[in-house]
Structure formats: C-alpha cells, structure tokens
Amino acid sequence: MPEKIYISAEDLLCDAYRLAAIIMQSGFRPDFIIGVWRGGTPVGVAVQELMDYFGIKTDHIAIRTASYTGIGERDDEVRVFGLKYIIRNINAENRLLIVDDVFDTGKSVDAIIHELSIRTRRNTPHDIRIATPWFKPGNNLTDRVPDYYLHETEKWLVFPHELDGLSQEDIFTHKSSCLKEIFQSLHDLNIRPVMNG
C-alpha cells in the first residue's frame, strides 16, 4: 500500500489562500475561474474569495470531469461537463484560471482546455493558467504543468472529504473525530459501509 498524506481541511484552506497570494503576486488577474468539481471546488472558492477581498473581481464556476473508475483505475477518455456558461460568456481577451486540488495525470485539465478550445474556437482565451496546491510530476501524462503550485509529491493524497479506499481504522485515526459518532449512529440504524478499505 503506498504511503499516504492526509490533508486536513484547515491545511487545504490555508494552501488555497497561499495559492491565491502567489497568483496575485505574479501579476496574473483572471477574469474567470473554473474550479474542477469535486476537489478543486473548495480550493477555487478560497482562491476567488481572497482575490475578491483584494479587489480582483472574477466570474467563477465549477465544472466536472469524469475519468476515475476506482482507486488507481482510470478511463482512457476524460469527459467534461458543465462548460455551457463559460462557453457563452468567455472570449479570447479574457484570462482564465483553472483550479484543482491536485495535478496528477493532467488529463482532466488537458480535457477541459481541449474541450473549451473546440467549443469556443476563436473565443478561446489566449491566457489560460492552471493552479493547484499539489502536483504529482511523476504521474503527469500531458505536456502541461501547473503554472502555480505549492507542493510536489508522488504519494497517495487523501483530501479532507475523501473516504473511498480508506479502512475504518484509517478514517477514525486520520479524519474528523465526528465520523466515529456518525458511523456509530448509522450502524445503529443497520446502515453499513459498502467498502471497508
């Protein structure tokens, strides 16, 4: 079993704010922010909030990609959902920031940019940048790298919301203490986990 890094909600939030600061310090001012659902959404929200607090107004939306079939298993093709709003509103002069929680294979972000360029054609922004707290360079299957990132690793990252692939022991040891009480209340109702890690 690969070594895991458990990321707390507080650490992820602080990293998202740090990421926003690095982006602002670089001089980049996005007009649009896409948060990649699921994990990139809370990061994108925090990035947008800090920018807004410092007077950088952006339009922002979450979009979804689908590629994972299970822990360590992926489809060959990444599908992108929810681009309609961006397609209707973005133009070539806009600056776009795509935010995710981790840049792993790079296939999700690559698919987003590819699909966006096909559907917006001449309105595809000339300045598209990628921001993520975590980068796994050894897993990257694309020619892209994030423009902004904080940490590099090849370890298994366990984000605050993630339970899939974890044993109850892992969950009770590394996750919020409230989960033990929640699991017990569900157990009392004869509701059992589908997977025990």
CA distance 44 to 140: 21
**pLDDT of 7 higher than 90:** yes
For the question of whether the overall pTM of this predicted structure is more than 0.85, the answer is yes
User: Structurally, how many domains does the chain consist of?
Assistant: 2
Residue range 121-160, pLDDT digits in tens: 999 999 999 999 999 999 999 999 999 999 999 999 999 9
150 with 197, same domain?
Answer: no
Alpha-helical (H) ranges within 26-73 are 40-53
Question: Are 41 and 51 within one domain?
Answer: yes
**Same structural domain for residues 197 and 110?**
no
Same domain, 125 and 157: yes
List pLDDT tens digits, range 23-75: 999 999 999 999 999 999 999 999 999 999 999 999 999 999 997 565 566 55
Question: What is the overall mean pLDDT for the chain?
Answer: 94
The H or E element containing residue 61 is strand 59-70
pLDDT in tens, 78-98: 999 999 999 999 999 999 999
**What percentage of the chain exceeds 70 in pLDDT?**
94
E strands, 91-174, are: 95-99, 102-103, 127-135, 148-152, 156-158
- Domain holding 36, by residue range, is 4-161
Is 150 in contact with 131 (CB distance < 8 Å)? no
Check residues 24 and 1 and name the one with the higher pLDDT. 24
Q: Are residues 186 and 157 in the same domain?
A: no
pLDDT value at 13 more than 50: yes
In this prediction, residue 196 carries a pLDDT of: 46
Strands 148-152 and 127-135: parallel
